[in-house]
A and B are shown apart, each in its own frame.
Chain A
């Protein structure tokens, strides 16, 4: 049984560009959450999707948007990238509101 998978593993972008990160949840899970982990920090909650709708949102600007597909996979989009967006982006999946299982993350570097 595959766990949570994320793509790509690493990504390098320049300021002002747009990026899309992808996540496939653990089999049987229907809820996907996204977190940003800056270097030396704990993960910060971005938002959560359930039934293709954004259910909760953290304190992130509108440049951060997402989507959940009917197969429960999800995308995180970030527009107008800033240097401060450089971080490890973690996807976590769960069944409804049970415990979350994390993917390996996507390392985004903004130059």
Chain B
């Protein structure tokens, strides 16, 4: 079975400072990893994905994520946070065994960026 852990319910950061949202995963075989963002009363918006290749993945809105196979982590990062980045962030994993592309999500991390 595949699973995702987001250990922090909330992350607070000042605007202009770097931010990190943590994610660890468990899956059989090599994973596909994703980050999605959700604004209030909205669906999920895709930010970035890791399939293979470089461990540092760049995505939308200046976000990037670092894949670390030995630590089974896929932390989301941004060098300089904006107030508009405040939202709910979800990490997700898709295993590569079996058919279909079912995603397993973490419980989410609320990011709050303050002036």
Contact = CB atoms under 8 A, between A and B. Distances in A.
B34 interface: yes
A56 B102 CA distance: 7
A33 B102 contact: yes
Interface stretch (A11-19, A60-68, A69-77, A94-102): A94-102
B10 to A, nearest CB: 12
User: Counting chain A CB atoms within 10 Å of each CB, which of B43, B44, B107 scores highest?
Assistant: B43
Chain A contact-residue range equals 20 to 34
Contacts of B92: 42
A90 B106 CA distance: 16
A86 interface: no
B108 interface: yes
Interface string A75-111: 0000000000000001010100111111111010000
Nearest to A96: B101
Contacts of A102: 36, 43-46
B102 A48 contact: yes
B44 A90 contact: yes
Interface in A21-50: 31, 33, 35, 40-45, 48, 50
Contacts of B34: 99
B90 A43 contact: yes
Contacts of B41: 107
Interface of B: 4, 34, 36, 41-46, 49, 90, 92, 98-108
Given A55-B99, A55-B100, A104-B42, 13 more contacts: A33-B102, A33-B103, A35-B105, A42-B90, A42-B108, A43-B44, A44-B105, A45-B102, A45-B103, A90-B44, A97-B100, A102-B36, A102-B45
In the A-B complex, the 3 residue pairs with the smallest Cβ-Cβ separation, listed nearest first, are A42-B105, A56-B100, A102-B44
